[in-house]
Structure 1
Amino acid sequence: METAIASLHRPISRRSLAVAAFSTIVEWYDFTLYLYFATVLARLFYGDTGEALSFTLGSFALAYLMRPLGAVVFGHVGDRHGRRAMLLWSVALMTAAMLATALLPTAASIGAAAGWLLFLLRCVMGFSVGGEYSGVVAYLLEGAAPGRRGLIASLASAASEVGALLAVGVSALTVALTSEAQLADWGWRIPFLVGALLAGSVWIARSSMEESPEFIRQVAAGTVPDSPWRHSLAHHKLGIFRAFSISALGSITYYVGITYVPAFLTTAGRLSEGDSLWLGTAAAVAVILVTPLTGLLSDRIGRKPVLIGVGIASALLPATLFSWMAGAGPGAALAGALVLACVAGAMSAVGAVATAEQFAGEGRVSGLAIGATGATAIFGGITPWLAQRLIDRTGEASTPGVMIALVALAVLPVFATLRETAPRLRR
């Protein structure tokens, strides 16, 4: 019987792995699209007032807090009913939310209710996205060959940046091909319709995915937990703490070291808004290139040394780079931003597989939801805002880098005490 159960734990098809890895495009397409169209949405849904943009960005930030709740709910689905069901349900909800956004009436038609409806749909989107990261990473880890788990799991991070680039391209094309009046009338709906079609196509692709061999093993062994989140809290406390620590550094290096940098350079007077868009594009390309290389490296030498190396880089480089970029020309600012992007991309790559490997198969998705997604909510969503507030108060350009360094110094002792989880190198 044990031999029969063990035989079920085998790598799944390359097609299913590819569908899972590259379906994260949808999440970051929506994330980037909303921020890119924030000024347009502000006028259409909150009126032409000075506070309209604040309402639009505030809606985004508040909806972001729905991610941990979504992660816990979908984590229960993934651990109780299968990874495949979790990924199908989450993308179905994303498809509905994006389509509804594209069809929303604006404030000119229904008044203040338009803004509330947009906020509600952002909450639905944040809730559904909450299940994406933990579900995809768990599926990739469980379906990949043991010696390629780092590389395969890192592809989810690379695909996310492809989604961001796609959003920039579709948005730029829409703006270029429509007049200002057309954009306000109907043009803004096009990128959201494209997103709905993209999400719908992902649902169709996911419907033919194989179930995770790990979940099949649990069903055959009768070890599927009745209450996954209780199981995780009871049996994976240390894993949750470690996943939180890894994801804390991964989140702050990404959200402060990449997504906040264009705004930082714009407010510092080093780049125009147009140049900042190109810088964001260059940073995305850097992440796409560095993530699979880092994932492969973690397969070769182990998760622990890569985590420690990236942690040391995060402690030493960002504060200096932010100070340097604030006083540098465009070329030097771009170079600094690319270094920060590489550090963040490397952390995302090794963090994906390292967090998932902190848990046994039973309760893995719920453990990831509590640990990794919880850290993202704290060290991701609010840190760009906090960085700007601290700069405004202190005038110190190095502040964002100091924030990253403090988190790195806090988690490095955790990294140093981790056991190696790469299958071929496990002690």
Structure 2
Amino acid sequence: MTDVTVPRRSTPGEVPDRRRQFLAGTIGHLVEWYDWSAYAYLAIFFADKFFPQDSASSLVPMLGTFGVFAVGFLARPFGGLVLGAFGDRYGRRAALTLSIAMMGGGSLLIAVLPTYAQVGVVAPVLLVVARLAQGISTGGEWGAASAFMVESAPPHRRGLYSSFLYVGSNIGKIALTSSGALLIALTGERAMGDYGWRILFGVGAALALVGWWIRRGAAETSSHAAEIRAGKAARPGIFEFVRRHPVPTLQVLGISLGPAAVFYTWTAYLPAYAVIAGGVTKGQALTAGTISLVVFAIAQPIAGVLSDRIGRKPLLLVHSVGFCAGTVPLLDLAGGSMLRLILVQAAGLLLLSCMTAIAAAVMVEIFPARVRVTGIGVPYSVAVAVFGGTAPTIATALQATGHVSWYGWYLVGCTALTLITVLTLRETYRTPLS
């Protein structure tokens, strides 16, 4: 499904069709995140299909399923390195078409997997294989998509263009959760657990094919890829980004780790926690997630435009200081009713948008074009793997041992590291891209 032929590229001084670029970046990212997020949102329905339940605890299947969730994240740094180097050498478009093909393949495999009852341990092994493919895809997606979108933007609209990566990803998640809620309404929660989750993974595989086709028709934004193919420039080394640019590498890592832990807590763990704690049904948890994601999506372009006017750092500081002060009180309010879950999720995601809307712009602005995809993709993927992918597992384990209240302070510590990193950044919203 991939295409590494010479991509279309605007000639010097020519502005690419920005509407087409905008569509390719946004729609493609939408599909990527529909597929990637399906696992987290649907875990409560298929956990017992792949992991036998210990009669003493209903948390055992969830722990196993979130363990595989974390395994997918461990593949992300490898994807950031390999697909990042591919994107720096062969172009952003080639990397994006490859990443979406891998994501769709993983979703298709999950949709047709046999259960533990049917094939035993082979079932969770194949589930791990599918998540590894999706983890590699997602690891390469962020760096390539960030470079592609921000390089396609007018100089005074980079924050806005950056924000639509998360608009796309949130629309993908909204499509997923609303489809899940509709299926539950039509067939019931039991049918959703029996076969409905397979339908949603199958839809994700089909959408990936559409996203691949859209991306294949986009214009390339990197002149370096053409120069490398023509022999006019040397290929960047696979670890050149960290050897020559250690400070930006650490800054990308630092500004990513806190938001990663918070994001996957708010979107992957809170719905499951609310269901297990009682007072919220599985259907209500999906509905609450959909409503809060709508708020999150609407906030993205607002924050992006604001950063283009007043700068990136004020919004980054609002996010970091806000979560340092508000994480524990917000988590204390979660659970007990659907309304409280909606309020906590929406409040947290609204605050998080101050970072997510402009993260791509900030990262692109601090890295040179030659190693931009790898320089963004690898440290970002490491942060997400270590702090984001493990967040639901850590939270669930603490809940199982009766120490769930400790988890909020863990998130505060992660956010404090991000705040320290933000203070080291220089303002870049008016700096020309290299």
Q: Secondary structure at the match of 2:238?
A: helix
- For residue 245 of structure 1, the aligned residue among 240, 254, 259 is 254
The answer to whether the 8 A contact 1:32-1:168 is kept is no
- Tell me the residue number matched to 2:39: 34
Q: Which of 18, 29, 35 is 1:24 aligned to? A: 29
Compared CA separation, residues 70 and 351, structure 1 to 2 (3 A): same
How far residue 178 of structure 1 moved from its aligned partner, in angstroms, is 4.6
- Of 179, 203, 209 in structure 2, the residue corresponding to residue 194 of structure 1 is 203
Verify the 8 A CA contact 2:41 2:268 in the aligned structure 1: no
| 1:412 paired to 2:406 | no
Letter in 1 for 2:217: S
Quote the sequence identity (%): 32
* Deviations 1:87-144, CA, capped at 9 Å, x for gaps: 1111122222222333334445544323322221221121122111111111101111
TM-superposed deviation, 1:401:
3.5
Higher alpha-carbon deviation: 343-352 or 401-410:
401-410
Change (3 A) 1:94 1:266: closer
Deviation digits for residues 188-222 of structure 1 (CA, Å, limit 9, x no counterpart): 43222211110000011111010114546855997
- Unmatched runs of 5 consecutive residues or more in structure 2: 1-9
C-alpha separation in 2, matches of 1:329 and 1:179: 20
Cα distance in structure 2, aligned partners of 1:364 and 1:223: 19
* Residue 275 (str. 1) matches residue 284 (str. 2): yes
Distance change in 2, residues 1:84/1:8 (3 Å): farther
CA distance in 2, matches of 1:184, 1:396: 27
**Which of 343, 351, 358 lines up with 1:343 in the alignment?**
351
Residue from 353, 367, 379 that aligns with 2:387:
379
Distance across 1 between alignment mates of 2:380 and 2:153: 21
DSSP 3-state at the match of 2:264 = helix
- 1:353 pairs with 356, 361, 365, which one? 361
Matching residue of 2:111: 102
In structure 2, how many angstroms separate the alpha carbons of the residues matched to 1:131 and 1:173?
32
Q: Contact 1:161–1:288 at 8 Å: present in 2 too?
A: yes
The separation in 2 between residues aligned to 1:297 and 1:314, in whole angstroms, is 20
Which residue in the other structure is 1:367 paired with? Answer: 375
CA contact (8 A) 1:250 1:351 kept: no
- How many residue pairs get aligned? The number is 420
Deviation larger for 404-413 or 205-214: 404-413
- Structure 1: distance between partners of 2:63 and 2:269: 16
> Which whole-Å CA distance do the structure 2 matches of 1:80 and 1:383 have between them?
33
Q: Determine the C-alpha separation between the residues in 1 that align with 2:330 and 2:124.
A: 39
The answer to whether the aligner puts 1:422 opposite 2:433 as a matched pair is no
Answering whether residue 294 of structure 2 is matched by residue 289 of structure 1, we say no
Quote the Cα distance in structure 1 between the aligned partners of 2:345 and 2:183: 27
Q: Is the 8 A contact 2:36 2:103 kept in 1?
A: no
- Aligned residue for 2:216? 207
Aligned-partner Cα distance in 2 for 1:393–1:54: 12
Alignment CA distance shift 1:409-1:187 (3 Å): closer
CA RMSD of aligned residues (A): 3.0
Pairs within 5 Å for 1:30-69: 30-46=35-51, 51-69=60-78
Aligned partner letter, 2:34: Y
1:388-399 equivalences under 5 Å are 388-390=396-398, 395=403, 397=405, 399=406
Note the alpha carbon deviations across 1:284-323, whole angstroms, 9 max, x for none.
1111011111111111111122212222112222222223
2:100 is paired with a residue whose SS is helix
Single out whichever of 129-138 and 33-42 deviates more from structure 2. 33-42
SS for the counterpart of 2:71 is helix
Q: Cα distance, 1:417 vs. partner?
A: 2.6
Between the aligned partners of 1:181 and 1:386, the Cα distance in structure 2 is 28
1:93 matched residue in structure 2: 102
Contact preservation (8 Å) 1:11, 1:145: no
Q: Which moved more, 1:102-111 or 1:86-95?
A: 102-111
CA distance in 1, matches of 2:116, 2:416: 47
Please list, as runs of the form range in 1=range in 2, the aligned pairs for 1:64-79 lying within 5 A after superposition.
64-79=73-88
Shift of 1:40: 4.5
What one-letter code is carried by the residue in structure 2 that aligns with 1:20?
G
* Residue number in structure 2 paired with 1:14: 19
Residue 12 of structure 1: how far off its partner (Å) = 4.6
